[in-house]
Structure 1
Amino acid sequence: MTKTLLVDNGANTIKVGHIQLRAPKIVPNVIVRGRTDRRYFIADQLDQCTDFSSLYYRLPFEKGYLTNWGAERTIWDRVFNHVVKADPSDTQLVVTEPFFNLPAIQEAYDQILFEEYGFQACYRTTAPQLCVFNEWSALFKDESDRLPDACVVVDSGYSFTHIAPFAHQRPIAKGIRRVNVGGKLLTNQLKETVSFRHYDMMEETYIINNVKETCCFVSQDALVDLATSRLPPDGNPILQEYVLPDFTNTTRGHIRQNEPLQPDQQVLVMNNERFMIPEILMHPSDIGMEQAGISETIVQSVQACDPEYHGLMYANILLVGGNANMPGYKDRIEQDLRQLVPTCFDIRIATPADATVAGWMGGQRMMQRMSKSELQQRFVTRNEYLEHGSDICRRKFA
């Protein structure tokens, strides 16, 4: 019996698992070298690390594109052999790639998966394409298992934010937009800000990323919150004290509540950084990028599509990707869209329970919903690839 393996191959994490699982396993898509023990940690081995200070990262992705195939093959070897224990000879693979992927990189995907790993069949697609098949009941206010005729998927991940409109589960190419802001840029910007104002944290990517995920939120009114952040500490609800880990007694930091500060503890004071760093998602021009923010780009994406779809698209917006888990993200986009979109259109926005794994969960539902003949039209078998090469992949995956 042929097994189906889903791999949402993100630039930061890989969401992987067989379709019969309830949820995927999430492993870092990175090779890390520790500073103290000089040991290399591959993918899920990062959990074994005890000192996360000044880690050296080796990333397969550069600016959102898979360029370091040596590192990626090492990570995939670890994932396929230890994390999920897949046998490629009797497994069909669903793997994701970014929008606007270069043809040379796509050919490398096909060559490595079919020739080096020997998967029985493969379907290469994008994460937003899989998200279309996700759970939409949050929008429809009922328990029906239907899919919208037209929708917009906003995927804000590690490298980019992609806005992709869909009609009848097919992407509308002329409406796809990219905002060159993702989680990596936010983390780097927070590193620079903290290093300028407090401690030198330019080498502490892991720690600052945890600070961002713990403390940051998307403001509903940045000017009002800026005024609040200037108040004295006693009357400033925005100010937080983040206790940094020492990697001797603690390996992860936390927000200081009312407990007394220990003599050996270092505190990072987070004030307007908490909301001004995520504000870059809404206004990239704040750091000199000549691009519109997410809300404006959604409008541009919808306007590029045929007018008969506009109402459906504004009423079916799905927010996915790691940044969608940030507090206030959905409310801010809804608030901004209401100011930009004509009042004759309803605006409905949904966010999955865990926006990070939305692509994998959508792929699972796609495999369950589609008939065998529909799936055959999407998958390329290994025999077809060996006979026709990447040409057949270009035709089917397009």
Structure 2
Amino acid sequence: MASRTLVVDNGASTIKCGFADEKTYRTIPNNITRSKAERKTFVGDQLGTCKDFSGLYYRLPFEKGLLTSWDVEKQVWDRLFTGKITPCDPATTTLVISEPILNLPNIATTYDQLVFEEYGFQSYTRMSAPQMAMYNEIPRLYGQRMSSGKKRVDCALIVDSGYSFTHIVPFWKGKPILVGIRRINVGGKLLTNHLKEIISFRYWNMMDETHLVNEVKEACCYVSDNFWEELDICKKSPRANKILQHYVLPDYSMQQTGYIKGKGKAKKPKKRKNEDDMAVDNDKNGDEQILTMNNERFTVPEILFNPSDIGMEQAGIPEAIVDAISACDEEIQGMLYANVVLIGGNAKLPGFKERVTHDLRQFVPSEYEVRVGVDKDPLGYAWKGAKGLATMDEFASEFKSRLVTRAEYLESGSYLCESRFRSGV
């Protein structure tokens, strides 16, 4: 059997996986869930067979951005690597997998042990998601193309805003600048939990409805470019409030997913006698529950830019970008500001790119050009970069030099892995 390369972006919330010789990847949940209603346990992709998502209990392999529960991760990897999700023979497969940036040595060693001793892959390499993203043709994000057939820029800054955290990583000549790496402890998980608290305080208890609230967040929330003006709009009557949305909650019987009234199959929201005070309403048949989303739509994502709003003594994303670039050599600071790339699930929020660009322009000296790029699929941008590393002729020698074979591992152990993967942070 011919050797193939399996690319896995092992995120804290979802795993993006697929073979490098294929065009697309598959996304699966990176957790084990227990359904209270069905009394079943779902591992990874099995969650897709769940019929009632109310009151799900999650077991997560990642804690604060680090892989700490190997019992959970191994069960997900068993389905991933043993043919149930990606049919492959590890003995003839090269694995490219992501790891947390600045990963702890003991955790990195466990990666090596599982990959070679448990699953028996032919060879593998691991690197961070920002490192993977660097193998994309970044100038395309700004409507440009690389010259002379070159695919990778020399200098760029990757903002990885994912499930557990947001990392800002500057790169020079394909390698991360360690003194410029910054981390903000704000990610999608914190936003979802904060929205749960707001709904539970203002309306009714949804602290156990993580899956549902996350769907509401993804459907309704956006990043505001004029926070105070839109906050004033939210105080107006429903007729004059263009921000107000009505989200129809699923009943997991006739309706498996929620939707926004007035979009797609949604109907116009029914006029209520006391619309300002009501949070839940029923339609004329009494079988629709409606959640009213007002200023929650943009105040929750605002935490990414002002963590102090919830008492966190950390800088927002634009300030952290400036701080990261200021720690780098002055000669490359202009190039870093001109090649800012947003990746991760939070980059999908409407208005995210525009807000980062607007705030950066206020902080950055006028002689520097500010360009912020985001792919149409920021969640899979790292996976696509790793796919490019494994398939493009330009990176063939670099890819080969990064790999550690099983035979080499059995002879030299994790020390060899660490020395070859160190440039990927």
Q: Match for 2:189 among 173, 179, 184?
A: 184
Alignment match, 1:377: 401
Name the stretch that deviates more: 18-27 or 37-46.
Answer: 37-46
- 1:352 maps to a residue whose letter is D
1:98-113 maps to which residues of 2 (within 5 A)? 98-113=100-115
Alignment match, 1:97: 99
Q: Match for 2:324 among 301, 317, 320?
A: 301
Alignment match, 1:118: 120
Q: Match for 2:411 among 384, 387, 392?
A: 387
- How far does the alpha carbon of each residue in 1:21-68 deviate from its partner, in whole angstroms, 9 at most, with x for none? 111100000111111221111111111111000011111111111111
Structure 2 vs 1, CA of residues 112 and 210 (structure 1 numbering), >3 Å: closer, same or farther?
same
Whether 1:202 aligns to 2:207 is yes
Given that 2:136 and 2:151 are in contact with CA atoms closer than 8 Å, whether structure 1 keeps it comes out as: no
How far apart are 1:384 and its partner, in Å? Answer: 1.0
Structure 2 SS opposite 1:234: coil
Structure 1 SS opposite 2:239: helix
How far apart are 1:135 and its partner, in Å? Answer: 3.0
Alignment match, 1:248: 253
Structure 2 vs 1, CA of residues 26 and 368 (structure 1 numbering), >3 Å: closer, same or farther?
same
How far apart are 1:141 and its partner, in Å? Answer: 2.8
Whether 1:276 aligns to 2:299 is yes
Could you tell me how far apart the structure 2 residues matched to 1:345 and 1:139 are?
A: 19
Identity score, percent: 49
How far apart are 1:149 and its partner, in Å? Answer: 1.6
Given that 2:142 and 2:373 are in contact with CA atoms closer than 8 Å, whether structure 1 keeps it comes out as: no
Could you tell me how far apart the structure 2 residues matched to 1:158 and 1:2 are?
A: 33
Name the stretch that deviates more: 262-271 or 148-157.
Answer: 262-271
Whether 1:171 aligns to 2:157 is no
Alignment match, 1:54: 55
Alignment match, 2:356: 333
Structure 2 SS opposite 1:243: strand
Alignment match, 1:142: 144
Could you tell me how far apart the structure 2 residues matched to 1:76 and 1:180 are?
A: 26
Could you tell me how far apart the structure 2 residues matched to 1:188 and 1:393 are?
A: 37
Whether 1:22 aligns to 2:45 is no
Structure 2 SS opposite 1:130: helix
How far apart are 1:353 and its partner, in Å? Answer: 1.1
Could you tell me how far apart the structure 1 residues matched to 2:137 and 2:37 are?
A: 45
Could you tell me how far apart the structure 2 residues matched to 1:292 and 1:41 are?
A: 38
Could you tell me how far apart the structure 2 residues matched to 1:157 and 1:48 are?
A: 25
- How far does the alpha carbon of each residue in 1:253-289 deviate from its partner, in whole angstroms, 9 at most, with x for none? 1111215524021111100100000000000011011
Given that 1:149 and 1:312 are in contact with CA atoms closer than 8 Å, whether structure 2 keeps it comes out as: no
1:32-111 maps to which residues of 2 (within 5 A)? 32-80=33-81, 81-111=83-113
Given that 2:112 and 2:414 are in contact with CA atoms closer than 8 Å, whether structure 1 keeps it comes out as: yes
Could you tell me how far apart the structure 2 residues matched to 1:137 and 1:345 are?
A: 17
Could you tell me how far apart the structure 1 residues matched to 2:261 and 2:64 are?
A: 35
Alignment match, 1:215: 220
Structure 2 vs 1, CA of residues 361 and 142 (structure 1 numbering), >3 Å: closer, same or farther?
same
How far apart are 1:138 and its partner, in Å? Answer: 3.2
How far apart are 1:87 and its partner, in Å? Answer: 1.0
Could you tell me how far apart the structure 1 residues matched to 2:349 and 2:396 are?
A: 38
| TM-score, normalised with respect to structure 1 | 0.98
How far apart are 1:143 and its partner, in Å? Answer: 3.8
- 2:383 maps to a residue whose letter is W
The number of residue pairs the alignment matches comes to 398
- 1:268 maps to a residue whose letter is L
Structure 2 vs 1, CA of residues 57 and 354 (structure 1 numbering), >3 Å: closer, same or farther?
same
Structure 2 SS opposite 1:83: coil
Could you tell me how far apart the structure 1 residues matched to 2:250 and 2:395 are?
A: 51
Q: Which runs of 5+ in 2 are unaligned?
A: 263-267, 271-282
How far apart are 1:371 and its partner, in Å? Answer: 4.6
Name the stretch that deviates more: 132-141 or 268-277.
Answer: 132-141
Could you tell me how far apart the structure 1 residues matched to 2:290 and 2:37 are?
A: 23
Name the stretch that deviates more: 140-149 or 315-324.
Answer: 140-149
Q: Match for 2:165 among 160, 165, 183?
A: 160
Could you tell me how far apart the structure 2 residues matched to 1:139 and 1:74 are?
A: 37
Alignment match, 1:133: 135
- 2:171 maps to a residue whose letter is F
How far apart are 1:228 and its partner, in Å? Answer: 0.8
Name the stretch that deviates more: 116-125 or 254-263.
Answer: 254-263
Name the stretch that deviates more: 116-125 or 131-140.
Answer: 131-140
Alignment match, 1:193: 198
Alignment match, 1:230: 235
